[in-house]
Amino acid sequence: MRKFEFKRKENLELQRKFNYEQTVELFIDDKRLQKRSEKTIKTYRQTLCHFGKYCADNGYTGAEDDCVRAYVRWLTFEKTKWDDHPTNHSDVVGVSARTVNNALRVLRVFYNWAVKKRLINASPAQQVGLQTEDVDTFEIFTDAEIESLLAAPRRRTYTGLRDYTLMALIADTGMRVGEMTALVRNDFDLVYRQIILRAEITKNRKARIVPISRTTADLLRELFDYIGIDDPNSEEFVFLTQYGDQLIGDNFAKNLKKYARRSLVPIKARVSPHTFRHYFAIKFLRNGGDPFALMKILGHTDISMTQKYVRYASADLQEVHDKASPIESLTGKRNKPRGNVKFR
């Protein structure tokens, strides 16, 4: 009994000493030492700061057993979508299961780290389960929408040519926007029509080679001539701002929305670089591309990640089945004119 009381007292002492803000800073610093990508660090910080604000506004310290469960309940049933965005506003209450699960995964990593470092007794996120996500909820552009977006930039200007080339490059390769904006001239081999994505700029920290079409290679040559990169071994960034600095993915995403407003075709899909990635994947499969080749091009580490595109592309199964059906090939003549039929 005394041992139990001692343990309980020790646990309560740990909880009282828990300082959420300081623990977050220690966690972020540790992840930097582990060489996590800047994008991952940014995601950690944004999620933990958002949760910290919720705790402060609702009387939690971040050490209570029910603080994460209360946060998830608020995200699901009470939070107004985009209420913390400076320009986008919405009347929708509750965020998607995917958003909730992404936040919960970060909180699990954070609290498990804190438990391991003996900064807190137990993880408040451990007993909160992930929500069920809808499958294949992503949208893709139609061909007409892509053509309209490509027609929007003024290609006589540098920024117009740059954005046109970026759109063509995503539609041709499905690269992530962060990978594209980090490319330097030395990453391009226009003779063999391929781009070498260095490990340090990919999401999974694994290098890969991405093939490009002749059309895209010609566009890149035009862009290189425009900005004056003559040396193929140059380490200069390829996609620049009008002031000569490296282009940031968020700025390109904003430009896409501007081009969508200019579009002569109403665009129903969400206009973002990632929707271009979806478009490439679906078109690649529908045009006869192999799922394993797609997995390598997109940089997926597991074929299961590519299967969502395979399922989506299977929307064409009826047409494929009509062409390939064995029974149709055997009895197809029944649809041809046969003249008068005599019954005996």
How confident is the model over 226-256, as pLDDT tens digits?
999 888 889 999 999 999 999 999 999 999 9
Whether the pLDDT of residue 331 is over 70: the answer is: no
Whether the pLDDT of residue 195 is over 50: the answer is: yes
Whether the pLDDT of residue 299 is over 80: the answer is: yes
CA neighbours closer than 13 Å in the CB half-sphere of residue 324: 6
pLDDT in the model for residue 187: 97
Whether the pLDDT of residue 6 is over 80: the answer is: no
The mean-pLDDT minimum among 20-29, 77-86, 195-204 falls in: 77-86
Torsion region of 228: left, alpha or beta (phi above 0 gives left; psi -120 to 50 gives alpha): left
| Residue of 179, 121, 146 lying closest to 259 (CA atoms) | 146
pLDDT class for 137, splitting at 50, 70, 90?
low
Whether the pLDDT of residue 152 is over 60: the answer is: yes
pLDDT class for 38, splitting at 50, 70, 90?
confident
pLDDT class for 311, splitting at 50, 70, 90?
confident
Whether the pLDDT of residue 283 is over 80: the answer is: yes
> Highest mean pLDDT: which of 1-10, 198-207, 252-261, 328-337?
252-261
pLDDT in the model for residue 189: 96
CB neighbours of 146 closer than 8 A, spacing ≥ 6?
171, 279
pLDDT in the model for residue 342: 45
pLDDT in the model for residue 319: 60
Whether the pLDDT of residue 310 is over 90: the answer is: no
CA neighbours closer than 13 Å in the CB half-sphere of residue 84: 10
pLDDT in the model for residue 116: 95
Strand partners, 91: none
As a dihedral over the C-alpha atoms of residue 280, residue 177, residue 295, residue 198, rounded to 10 degrees, the angle is: 140
pLDDT class for 14, splitting at 50, 70, 90?
low
pLDDT in the model for residue 86: 52
pLDDT in the model for residue 7: 45
Sign of CA dihedral 19, 104, 90, 276: positive
Whether the pLDDT of residue 341 is over 50: the answer is: no
pLDDT class for 83, splitting at 50, 70, 90?
low
Strand partners, 130: none
pLDDT in the model for residue 315: 58
pLDDT in the model for residue 8: 46
